[in-house]
Amino acid sequence: MFEVEIISSFSAAHRLRQYKGKCERLHGHNYRVHVTARASNPKADGMVIDFGELKRITNDLLERLDHHLLNEIKPFDEIEPSAENIAEFIFHEVEQGLGEKCDLLYSVGVWESDTSVARYFR
């Protein structure tokens, strides 16, 4: 099995509505996003997927979140903007962006800090 991963980032604010504690108050993170693709065999060109294509799709999406209050953006106006939910959202958006290559997408990890990550897998 081969795995490739691209790393990107965005900065945003959020507030966890259902949390009791510090995170219910408005605060921000410099999120790091790891997007991983897997395949048992590389294609004829020797690649699982072009890093550039995965970066472009991911960065186009993260541009929509960057420097926003996540609670005001769909779907986080209705669901909690937790790292878990952000990871699932990014996964499904990147999956859509990949089109017929969507099966290659394996996981999305969203890092809220250097020591805290939530990952979503298919």
Residues that bind Zn ion (CB under 5 A): 23
Joined together, the tokens standing for residue 37 give 């693709």
Least Å distance, CB 27 to Zn ion, is 6
Check the CA dihedral 102-33-22-15 and report its sign. Answer: negative
Q: How far is the CB of 11 from Zn ion (least distance, A)?
A: 12
23 or 47: CB nearest Zn ion = 23
Write down the residue that tokens 């890092």 correspond to. 111
Q: Which is nearer to Zn ion, 34 or 101 (CB)?
A: 34
Q: Report whether 65 contacts 30 (CB < 8 A).
A: no
Instruction: Work out how close the CB of 14 gets to Zn ion at its nearest, in angstroms, rounded to a whole number.
Output: 6
